[in-house]
Amino acid sequence: MASRIIGQSRKRLEDPPLLTGQGRFASDISFPDQLAMRVVRSGYAHGRIVSVDTSEACALPGVFAVWTADDVADLPPIDVRLTNIKGLAPYRQYVLARDKVRYVGEPVAVVFASDAYTAEDAADLVVIDIEELPAVLDAAGETGDFAPGLPTEVIVIEKGYGDADAAFKTAQHVVSLTLSVGRHSGVPLETRGAIARYDAKHDMLEMYGAAKVPHWNRDQIAIMLGRERKSINLYEGHTGGGFGVRGELYPEDVIACYAALKLGRPVKWIEDRRENLVACNHSREQTHRIRAAIDAEGHILAVEDEFFHDQGAYVRTHGATVADLAAAMLPGPYRIPAYRAVGHIRLTNKTPGGTYRAPGRYESTFARERLLDAIAAKAGISPVEARRRNLLQKADMPYDLRVDTLGTKVVYDSGDYGGLVRKAIDATGWQTLRDAVATRRKAGETVGVGLAMFVEKSGLGPYDDVRIELSPSGAIEVITGAASIGQGVETVIAQICAETLGAAFDTIRVTHGQTDRIERGLGAFASRVTVMTGEATRRAAEALRARLLAIAAPLMQTDATQLTVSDGWIARTDGSGPSMAIADVARSIDATHGASSEASFESSHMVYPYGVHVALVQVDRETGGVTVERYLVAYDIGRAVNPMLVEGQITGGIAQGIGGALLEEFLYDERGEPLSVTFADYLMPTAHEIPPMDIVISEDAPSPLNPLGLKGSGEAGVNAAGAAIAAAIDDALGMPGLITRLPVTPQRLKAALAAR
């Protein structure tokens, strides 16, 4: 019988080099005779560039070159990777500022020197004369001008269905809220880096330090530099955190590659922490004006939402993805007969925004779940009951939401939302928990419980390719176009390959993020790898298994249907007779190269996992401090390839969700000067702020869209954290609707209490 490997909590294949100090991160990569690159950034949020004087910097010993916009004038702006929405092109960013600067931290000049210290000293000698202009800082306020004829409102996204106007006219009650989520983002342990070199002998440009989407970045760099894509290779090493912000194509990546070509020497750029906080993509910042029409029992008749998305200074590679997802995914797991969303994508003089774990969903889940809590209060029912009355049912699946996003129709493929609520309630010991909270309140403590639900999207197509190579020694290499950003790609793909092929798990090596090993790939984003690459791997392994059995059958004097493969051995299904190692069969095919197979998986629809968050918090009325004491996430993943890795993904997401709910925020003063430029100002949760966590993994609703029933898990832990914690604070204080803005800092909470 074939070994069951899918579903087991196997230890990660990725970990041995990381645990033994053999990790290869961007800063570990160096080449002889390389130049250190340092970016000179704008100190103004908005202004007209009068002049850039590089003479003193150029005269410093050890400086090889100093570039301004004139030196890269032939480079086009960086294009958009995701979105079919038109009208974004005029708002893209050039690699170095031309004529105007639009945020503090925008690249204006770049220094190349013999070492990093000299480069930094030289950067300080570059004199930039800027005529300051008024800064636009409120995306929900008055719009300004990005350029002549171009307003700071980039585009308006509209989605909806049904007759919302009629529903609001006939509703028993209308519940309205104004809600906002603060600007925060993924702040990975490893900052960005790019190391580029040009091999003139082979006319090959290489860049190391790639992550997330190496193939797309390769193709875009080729277009920008006017080169054939086969003359560029990107190499992904270990990555110290991705979360959506690492691995997009940034100005610094393009400059490093361009400089390696023009200067004829390798170029290395490693970002420092201040740069990371002011120049790497921000995210989240949205304001929602949302309302619901309900009947007397709290059933939703319609939802209408107008929201303002603060995109920062430019449209970067993600395009309109965040706002588009917010508008499309806001209905969540509920039956909403009529729906209308209007999303304004606005530019401000802040760091450009991008995608960050659960982009658009963290924000819209907060808005929707706060609305459900308000509906409960208006109808005089519990928050749990308000959700139960409005949930879509298992019999409704598949459920067409009648909107689209990321070029796909939103059709929930499978789900038992009510069943998962019951599992979450049971896992928390809900009544016991509520009784304990009541007892503590009588003793003078301010404690409360909040619950929030969400639907996620995962498995974004349209394709993924895999090639499996079986060497004569029996070693197996799975070559993919995926990328690893810490999520356990190598382990999960090896498990799928091992079980399908019948190979031993420890004989499999997974190669990813190397553009010279496979022609195309879409990388790692949108919780897509397990679904897309996993199914492509299953198909390639299945094809290779069939080929091996067909070759082995005559050698073993039987029919292929009478053979099975397990743990690397081919044997008769009835256990009689001899067996053969799959390596021996591979050698019989090709004594030098062994055997191989290729497969693709194409999908035009995403898959939709879902979950429930429950938070227990304690509030200090005097200080405004909030302590999360316990946290539970119940999550239906369809099928868990490796439950331990799913739990790890959810646990990490909870920590980030708590950060966005209580601590993390990029703030600016009235001139657009960033105030969160160190970890003393940008507060991140530590182990001290993270509570005991319970994870309930459910497999009640496998996806019908792939044979393994897979769905993704990367964004489950973060999605509803802000909503659940806000509800718990309301409950603790006995003030429904108190929390309308994240993060809930002590100062804001005290101000809200004073206002009440």
Q: Name 255's Cβ contacts closer than 8 Å, sequence gap at least 6.
A: 37, 39, 67, 72, 95, 96, 107, 110, 269
Angstrom distance (rounded) from CA 455 to CA 398: 14
**Rg over CA atoms, the chain:** 27
The answer to whether the beta carbons of residues 487 and 738 sit under 8 Å apart is no
Please, what is the average pLDDT of the chain?
96
CATH of 286-459+605-755, one of 3.30.390.50, 1.10.3720.10, 3.30.365.10, 3.50.50.60: 3.30.365.10
Q: CA-to-CA distance for 496 and 151, rounded, in angstroms?
A: 50
Domain-by-domain residue ranges, the chain? 15-21+460-602, 31-134+191-239+246-279, 286-459+605-755
Closest CA to 12 of 520, 600, 486: 486
The pLDDT, as a whole number, for residue 646 is 98
Question: Tokens 């038992």 sit at which residue?
Answer: 416
- According to DSSP, the β-strands at 100-101 and 193-199 are unpaired
Among the ranges given (81-95, 262-276, 620-634), the one the predictor scored with the smallest mean pLDDT: 81-95
Residue 286's CB is within 10 A of a number of other CB atoms, namely: 28
Span 470-519, pLDDT tens digits: 999 999 999 999 999 999 999 999 999 999 999 999 999 999 999 999 99
pLDDT band at 756 (very low <50, low <70, confident <90, very high): confident
Residue 38 has pLDDT above 60, yes or no: yes
User: Cα(40)–Cα(84) distance, rounded to whole angstroms?
Assistant: 34
What tens digit of pLDDT does each residue of 207-247 get?
Answer: 999 999 999 999 999 999 999 999 999 999 999 999 999 99
CB 301 within 8 Å of CB 65: no
Two domains, one topology: 31-134+191-239+246-279 and 286-459+605-755: no
Q: What is the mean pLDDT of residues 677-703?
A: 97
Cα separation, 410 vs 159, in Å, equals: 12
Q: What is the 3-state secondary structure (H, E, C) of 215-283?
A: HHHHHHHHHHHCCCHHHEEEEECCCCCCCCCCCCCCHHHHHHHHHHHHHCCCEEEECCHHHHHHHCCEE
What digits encode the pLDDT tens for the residues 560-576?
999 999 999 999 999 88
**Rounded mean pLDDT, 594-614:** 96
pLDDT of 1: 40
* Burial status of residue 686 (CB atoms within 10 A of its CB: 0-12, 13-18, 19 or more): exposed
Read off the pLDDT of residues 514-541 as tens digits, 9 standing for 90 and up: 999 999 999 999 999 999 999 999 999 9
- For residue range 644-666, what is the model confidence (pLDDT) as tens digits? 999 999 999 999 999 999 999 99
Q: Identify the CA nearest to 353 among candidates 143, 181, 550.
A: 181
Please determine, looking at this structure, whether the domain spanning 31-134+191-239+246-279 carries the CATH number 3.90.1170.50: yes
Per-residue pLDDT at 417: 98
The CATH architecture annotation of domain 15-21+460-602 reads 2-Layer Sandwich (3.30)
pLDDT higher than 80, residue 383: yes
CA separation for the pair 649, 495 (Å, rounded):
17
Q: Are strands 267-270 and 286-294 parallel, antiparallel or unpaired?
A: unpaired
Pull the structure tokens for residue 751.
Answer: 């101000």
| Range 23-51 average pLDDT | 98
Total-model pTM = 0.97
Least confident of 256-270, 572-586, 654-668: 572-586
Q: Are 27 and 193 in contact (CB under 8 A)?
A: yes
Task: Say if residues 471 and 508 touch (Cβ distance below 8 Å).
Answer: no
> Residue for token digits 């519940």?
175
What average pLDDT score do residues 452-468 get? Answer: 97
Mean pLDDT for the stretch of residues 177-200: 97
* Mean pLDDT, residues 340-350 taken together: 98
Q: pLDDT above 90 covers what percent of the chain?
A: 96
> What band does 82 get if pLDDT is binned at 50, 70 and 90?
confident
The rounded distance, in Å, linking the Cα atoms of 708 and 532 is: 11
Residue 474 corresponds to which tokens in the numbers above? 């029996």
In 3D space, the residue among 230, 238, 201 whose CA is nearest the CA of residue 19 turns out to be 238
Nearest-10 Cα torsion for 633, 639, 644, 649 = -50
Specify the pLDDT at position 3. 61
Q: What is d(CA 467, CA 463) in angstroms, rounded to the nearest whole number?
A: 14
Burial 566-594 (b: 16+ CB within 10 A, else e): bbbbbbeeeeeeebbebbebbbbeeeeeb
Q: Is the pLDDT of residue 2 over 80?
A: no
* Lowest-pLDDT range of 83-92, 119-128, 302-311, 449-458: 83-92
